[in-house]
Structure 1
């Protein structure tokens, strides 16, 4: 199976409601789609969202990395030389982990098709179904309470609540959500790097003292502040999940070695795809640290790749793959089934993606 052609396109998918965090506000998913065609007729699909506020990768950066570096190096290559392809994708351009992730997942898709196995079974086959949380955007307390009530009515029993845009309101936001949620709904919060270490400890401990029962806090401090992250982990009543602090396997090792967080969040767009994610998984398993599988605001192709990984490995004990259910429509044909909180992986060879409706080609 040789690569004969690689095409780029884009999709635009409106969100049900605006997505608001301490870093940005988004109203639609605007993603780059990668198609890798082969001489057997098999097609592998990849996807990358421009998330400049988080990864630093804009649409232009993703397209440029793919067109100028990754695609020329992949054309003509044999899928069966898989390890070489993985190393080539990671080494042919510096950084640009989102572009690398798009190529990585498309290659895994083809590798599974070559050997007629779904990717999750190639990687371990631990389970077939996941249960995801759903994100509640940061807004005024009353609006967040309404959004929480809507999510619970849709069947979700775990909410990831965005905080940090105005720290003085964060306790009130969580109190309003908890009042609507009752005692049995799990609440986890994401500060998106908004707090200083001592401020984070004060806010988190106040939240727990008020009976808000938080499962964990995601990235309470700046990504580079590993010392501050460790301080919060050691002094907070709330377990700490490292997100933006962990892009690469090297980042993960630093956090794990210093015991700077209780949990690690793996996102394919941060680490450059499944190939590097597996290295982080192995390190977390060695240190006995559980992981969450997360996503950016992405449509189903790239979230589907994360589903394949999470269904393969038991180290993923928290699931945050709500991108497709935040969208108002799904233009992706095939792949995993997203039925509100339940995600069921496809048993088709590769990743099971059959096409994209409304794809606008860039060439």
Structure 2
């Protein structure tokens, strides 16, 4: 089964509500969609959103890497030689993890279809159902508390609360307001997106512990490169600390794990460069007794479907952050994962189970360069 063509499209879907974190505000989910066609008619899909402030990838850089590097590299190659292809992809260009992830998704989709299996079964098949949290964007304490209550009323029982954008005292007021509004009916996890300094992070988390706010975990409290600071926070609070932006590759993961700089790791396909590399991180973390979450950027259901299949396939992935498609004004994917409030299940199709992408949201990739000017 050989690759005969690789095509890219530009997609843009508005969010129904702005998504706000310490790093950025998003109102439109922009993405590069990848379509890999094989000589037996099998089609594999992937996607890569630009997340400049985290991965450094833009629409133009993603499209260029796929069209100018991966397309000539992979066209004519056999899907059945996956390990060799993933090695070629990883070696062909430095960085560009989002572009690598999009190609990786599409190749995995093709391979699982050829095997006649849903991708999560093809990868290991540990679970066939998972549950996502729902993210509370940074706003005033009152707005965040109202949003949190609405999400609980809509069937979610784990909230991921964004903090780290301004004063820590305000963050504490946000969490107090949310906990008062929702009571003890849900788990609350925090994501500071690198917004705190180590000592102030310890002070804030200790205060939340003293207040009995019952925080499940705190994600990436300090700057990504500050592993000493991350370790300092981890060692000086009781609340579990999760590394996110500090871990892109298996080498990053090894350093965090060997130094015990975090209690948990958040794996994202856009950081890791796809499922192949993400599997390595999950397996390495398991060898250290460290559990993983799988999260995402602001992606459509296409990218989240790939991430969910990976997450469900692995025993050591125990937390899931897959609410991004629920934030979009429309669903551009026919097929893929199925949402029932917080529960995510998989359709019976092989591969990703994606049947079609809504052409109304897809454009020629030449428009990417017009968008980014």
Q: Does 1:78 align with 2:75?
A: no
* 2:212 maps to 1:192: no
**What's the offset of the Cα at 1:326?**
1.4
User: How far is 1:339 from its partner?
Assistant: 2.3
Match of 2:293 in 1: 292
Matches within 5 A, 1:1-363: 1-166=1-166, 167-357=168-358, 358=360, 359-362=362-365
**Contact persistence 1:311–1:345 (CA under 8 A):** no
SS at 2:73's partner residue? helix
| Counterparts of 1:238 and 1:44, CA distance in 2 | 41
- Residue 258 of structure 2 aligns to a residue in which SS? helix
Distance in 2, Cα, partners of 1:221 & 1:85:
36
Contact 1:262 1:289 in 2 (8 A): yes
Q: Distance in 2 between matches of 1:89 and 1:45?
A: 17
Q: Distance in 2 between matches of 1:253 and 1:92?
A: 23
Structure 1 moving runs of 4+ over 6 Å:
none
SS where residue 88 of structure 1 aligns?
Answer: helix
RMSD across aligned C-alpha pairs, in angstroms? 1.0
Alignment TM-score, normalising by the size of structure 1:
0.98
Aligned to 2:369: none
CA contact (8 A) 2:283 2:316 kept: no
Deviations 1:136-175 (A, max 9, x none): 0011101101111111111111100000111230100001
The answer (yes or no) to whether the contact 1:7–1:361 under 8 Å persists in 2 is no
Matched residue of 2:164: which SS?
A: coil
Name the CA distance, whole Å, in 2 between partners of 1:281 and 1:361: 36
SS at match of 1:330: coil
Deviation at 1:11, TM superposition (A): 1.4
- Matched-pair contact (CA < 8 Å) for 2:63–2:365: no
Equivalent pairs counted in the alignment come to 363
How far did 1:346 drift?
2.7
Gaps of 5+ in 2: 367-373
Q: Which moved more, 1:308-317 or 1:246-255?
A: 308-317
- In 1, Cα distance between equivalents of 2:201 and 2:311: 30
Alpha-carbon distance, 1:311 to partner: 1.1
Corresponding residue SS for 2:309: helix
| Superimposed CA distance per residue, residues 271-301 of structure 1 (whole angstroms, 9 cap, x where no aligned partner) | 0000000110110110010000100111011
| Alpha carbons 1:104, 1:272 under 8 Å: kept | yes
Between 21-30 and 349-358, the greater mean CA deviation after superposition: 349-358
1:24-62 Cα deviation digits (max 9, x unpaired) = 000111111000011111110000000001111111111
CA distance in 2 between counterparts of 1:79 and 1:155 reads 40
How far the C-alpha of 1:114 sits from its partner, in A, is 1.2
Unaligned 5+ runs, structure 1: none
Tell me the CA shift for residue 89 of structure 1.
Answer: 1.3
User: Residues 74-95 of structure 1, C-alpha deviation per residue, up to 9 Å, x if partnerless?
Assistant: 1111111111111111111111
- 2:218·2:239 contact (CA, 8 Å) conserved in 1? yes
Where 2:80 maps in the other structure, the secondary structure is coil
Question: 1 CA distance for matches of 2:163 and 2:193?
Answer: 8
What secondary structure, in the 3-state scheme, does the structure 2 residue paired with 1:285 have?
helix
